[in-house]
Structure 1
């Protein structure tokens, strides 16, 4: 029987997680089967259960891994001795980087979270709401200090998060734009807008 081969700097469970993320993204959580995952990994389906408990456990792990990475980065940005604009830029760049380098996992966390079972569903949604509220607080602080325009902070957060999520289209079509140009231009557009100064 074939064995799961750990990748470079990756455990067997991480190999399973990466393949599960790709499968859940392309097939959807409900439609994806453990048999398909086993085929992608290159083992018999029963061998997967030596490393994971269930398909639901895989989804939980993926969603909370991504949520925790975003929260950790936000914690770091909040603690830095920089202004609100620099904090927002740092957070935007991290979102873009995640969409470029951990796309499958981020896609699953963005779209398949609704299949989480309780209490994980409520925990995930609470973590996401808390993240958004903390972003709003950073923008409100920037407005208060006259770094940012007097805008609705919540609308600004929705705009930023929606814009970065739009990179799903770039991932699908892989336009001839380098990752560096993509990141820098998005940051410029999101922080400065599209209209030239008049």
Structure 2
């Protein structure tokens, strides 16, 4: 990649990162390209040299995070871990996404319904498949006697809801380190389902 391409790539990353923060704080609907340009410190017209529309920005943020989630799930499915180890890996992954990629992850979780129709349908379908695969991992653990016989949907819902709750940690004085949060999330969530 030459210098010009690196600069363009860096500028686009800045646009996506700034947009993620703005969308999380204000919501997608209340954010404008003019607001985004102002936050970045460029003319609104210059944004269009890097991105086509606000909808494209939202799509790129959401699909970027969704791909990371999907790839992690594919990778843990490939290894010979127990169901409990796979669930722990998912808890750690989602906790770390919420801690270290808070803006983007929050946008995916809270703003996905603003995707354009075709993208919205694809994302909603992928999300359903992701949850079903997580449920299948939980069911495998129940069937093998690793986990308590709790409804898999409730286990998945509890994990994903607990991770979303880390928004309060971001808004607090952060008196607990990210590592403490991760370890305690794992201990709490695994403790409730492990036999």
Structure-2 residue corresponding to 1:69: 68
Is the Cα–Cα contact under 8 Å of residues 74 and 91 in structure 1 kept in the other structure? yes
Structure-1 residue corresponding to 2:142: 143
Please give the residue correspondences for 1:133-172 in structure 2 after superposition, counting only pairs within 5 Å. Answer: 133-172=132-171
Report the Cα offset of residue 174 of structure 1. Answer: 3.5
Is the Cα–Cα contact under 8 Å of residues 99 and 106 in structure 1 kept in the other structure? yes
Structure-1 residue corresponding to 2:23: 24
Structure 1 unpaired stretches of 5+: none
Report the Cα offset of residue 6 of structure 1. Answer: 5.1
Report the Cα offset of residue 27 of structure 1. Answer: 1.1
- Cα distance between partner residues in 1 of 2:179 and 2:7: 30
- Cα distance between partner residues in 2 of 1:6 and 1:35: 22
- Cα distance between partner residues in 2 of 1:162 and 1:6: 38
Structure-2 residue corresponding to 1:184: 183
TM-score by length of 1: 0.91
Structure-2 residue corresponding to 1:82: 81
- Cα distance between partner residues in 1 of 2:157 and 2:172: 24
- Cα distance between partner residues in 2 of 1:20 and 1:73: 25
Structure 2 unpaired stretches of 5+: 1-5
* Secondary structure at 2:117 match in 1: coil
* Secondary structure at 1:32 match in 2: coil
- Cα distance between partner residues in 2 of 1:23 and 1:92: 27
Report the Cα offset of residue 41 of structure 1. Answer: 1.3
Structure-1 residue corresponding to 2:39: 40
* Secondary structure at 2:185 match in 1: helix
Report the Cα offset of residue 172 of structure 1. Answer: 1.2
Q: CA RMSD in A?
A: 1.8
- Cα distance between partner residues in 2 of 1:190 and 1:27: 31
TM-score by length of 2: 0.93
* Secondary structure at 1:176 match in 2: coil
Is the Cα–Cα contact under 8 Å of residues 6 and 15 in structure 1 kept in the other structure? no
Structure with the higher helix share, 1 or 2: 2
